[in-house]
């Protein structure tokens, strides 16, 4: 093994890296989403990148222990995708994320982001966008909630389409969570819209409790 690390030691090292960086990503995303500094803060935010030092893994070891580091890459994809959404309102592509990895460390030219990790990371994006929509609703940002709703519905449709294209572990469960998050945002948008119609002279606001729904609710409320 490269650097004299036995398989077990290398595997645990990579898992520790993934867990540590995952926690950092989650904390950074929450800080961005709840920041009172608005777009300025979001544009200045830097997402930690899961660089794999050359003295920890070789290219061969990277593929050998890909399963161990896969969660870290998925968290990175989710974080980059969320930051990209905050800045641009669109979905980041796999190639754009790959370029971000290469900018972090030239040694990563030998490492390619797998389609599997990209898709699973993107599937988790809806949860972050939903939480961002909660913040928009609480502050009366109708357009922010509407944009999030349209974005999430389009993303859900694409992910549901992919459900029939192949077998990816955990994919059905992630799509179901995505569907639940999308419905919550649809309901919030609907309630905000009713507020605009009924009380046009009052500031819009919606508490986070409005996003809660019963587990058996499945009817989606349209937003156009």
pLDDT tens digits for the chain (224 residues)? 444 444 455 455 555 555 555 545 444 544 444 443 334 333 333 334 444 544 445 666 666 767 777 787 888 888 888 888 988 999 999 999 888 777 665 555 466 788 888 999 999 999 999 999 988 888 888 899 999 999 999 999 999 888 765 667 788 889 999 999 999 999 889 888 888 888 777 777 776 565 564 334 444 444 44
Domain termination residue (choose one: 90, 123, 156): 123
Given this model, what pLDDT does residue 38 score? Answer: 33
- Residues 101, 176: one domain? no
- Residues 53, 134: one domain? no
Asked if the structure places residue 222 within a domain, the reply is no
Domain termination residue (choose one: 103, 123, 143): 123
Given this model, what pLDDT does residue 156 score? Answer: 95
Query: Which domain, by its residues, includes 18?
Result: 2-123
Q: How many helices (H) and strands (E) does the chain have?
A: 9, 0
Cβ neighbors of 18 (< 8 A, separation 6 or more) are 50, 68, 69, 70, 71, 72, 75
* Cα 95 from chain centre: 16
Asked if the structure places residue 196 within a domain, the reply is yes
Does the pTM surpass 0.85? The reply is no
Given this model, what pLDDT does residue 212 score? Answer: 61
CA–CA separation, 222 vs 150, rounded Å? 10
Domain termination residue (choose one: 123, 139, 173): 123
């Amino acid at each position: 093994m490269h650097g004299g690390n036995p398989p077990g030691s290398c595997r645990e090292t990579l898992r520790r890296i993934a867990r540590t960086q995952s926690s950092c990503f989650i904390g950074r995303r929450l800080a961005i989403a709840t920041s009172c500094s608005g777009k300025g803060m979001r544009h200045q935010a830097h997402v930690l990148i899961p660089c794999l030092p050359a003295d920890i893994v070789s290219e061969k070891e990277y593929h050998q222990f890909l399963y161990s580091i896969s969660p870290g890459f998925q968290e990175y994809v989710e974080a980059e995708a969320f930051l990209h959404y905050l800045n641009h309102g669109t979905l980041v592509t796999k190639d754009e994320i790959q370029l971000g990895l290469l900018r972090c460390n030239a040694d990563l030219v030998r490492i390619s982001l797998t389609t599997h990790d990209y898709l699973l990371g993107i599937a988790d994006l809806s949860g972050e966008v939903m939480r961002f929509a909660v913040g928009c609703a609480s502050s009366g940002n109708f357009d922010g909630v509407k944009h999030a709703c349209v974005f999430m519905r389009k993303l859900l449709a694409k992910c549901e389409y992919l459900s029939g294209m192949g077998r990816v572990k955990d994919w059905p469960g992630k799509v179901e969570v995505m569907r639940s998050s999308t419905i919550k945002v649809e309901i919030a948008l609907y309630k905000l819209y009713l507020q605009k119609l009924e009380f046009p002279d009052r500031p819009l606001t919606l508490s986070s409790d409005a996003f809660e729904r019963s587990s058996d609710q499945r009817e989606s409320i349209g937003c156009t």
